[in-house]
Amino acid sequence: MAIEPGSLSDPSNSKDRLTLPEEAKGVWSDIKENRKSGISGVVTLKSEELFAMARKSSLWPLTFGLACCAIEMISTYMPNHDFDRFGVVTWPSPRQSDVMIVAGTVVKKMAEPIKLLYEQMASPKWVIAMGSCATCGGPYTRSYSVVMGVDQIIPVDVYVPGCPPRPEALLGGVMELQDIIQNEPRKKRGL
């Protein structure tokens, strides 16, 4: 099918875009439709969704670990599980980080520094609570020194249960977070 130059910029002419089925609102189905109709190399999407794609594909977690769960987090970065294939690269400064993986027991003495680090991160930012300790206190319920879940001090987006969770579970958590990020613009519009 031949495309006339300029036909895309003329809404009355761009038949393909107007005949998209109602349910195909997602970015990927958009791309598929465009491929089918031969307009390859052109993606039509909202800028918000483009930014969301960029964000979810380069999540930089703040490098820190608090207890035993950190060992599982470290092994997730190692070649066997290879966090890098999701664009997840550790970054040792909160200023350039996008996501905070709270891996381990949050003791009350550590609560203040964690809050400070979270506040130093630039928006948009997300938090993954890894392990039972970070989600709810885990084995340290009724302890005098442990915060009953990191959600008592900072907002949490994804909870990964387990003591410790396997690296696959953390990978699952990150994929869940990617879905959340991709859906954020649509959530904002109430879709």
Partner 1 sequence: MSTDNFNQYTTEEFETATRAVLGDIKATVEPNFGELGIVCDRSDIVAICKIVKQDPGISMEYLRSISVVDWVEHMEVVYHLSSIKHMNRIVIKVVIPLEDLKIDSVITVWSGADWHEREGHDLFGVEFIGHPDMSPLILYEGFEGFPGRKSFEIPVQETFYGD
Q: Do residues 97 and 61 make contact, with C-beta atoms less than 8 angstroms apart?
A: yes
Distance, in Å, from the CA atom of 182 to the CA atom of 27, rounded to the nearest integer, reads 9
From ligand SF4, partner 1, none, interface partner of 138 (C-beta below 5 to 8 A by class): ligand SF4
Q: Point out which span in 33-41, 126-134, 148-156, 167-175 binds partner 1 (CB under 8 A).
A: 148-156
From ligand SF4, partner 1, none, interface partner of 53 (C-beta below 5 to 8 A by class): none
Instruction: Tell me, by CB under 8 A, how many residues bind partner 1.
Output: 12
Helix, strand, coil shares, percent, the chain, to 5: 45, 10, 45
Our finding on whether 145 is near partner 1 (CB under 8 A) is: yes
Q: Which is nearer to ligand SF4, 164 or 167 (CB)?
A: 164
Q: Do residues 119 and 92 make contact, with C-beta atoms less than 8 angstroms apart?
A: no
Distance, in Å, from the CA atom of 10 to the CA atom of 20, rounded to the nearest integer, reads 16
Shortest Cβ 146–partner 1 spacing (Å): 9
Q: Do residues 150 and 129 make contact, with C-beta atoms less than 8 angstroms apart?
A: yes
Our finding on whether 132 is near ligand SF4 (CB under 6 A) is: yes
From ligand SF4, partner 1, none, interface partner of 143 (C-beta below 5 to 8 A by class): partner 1
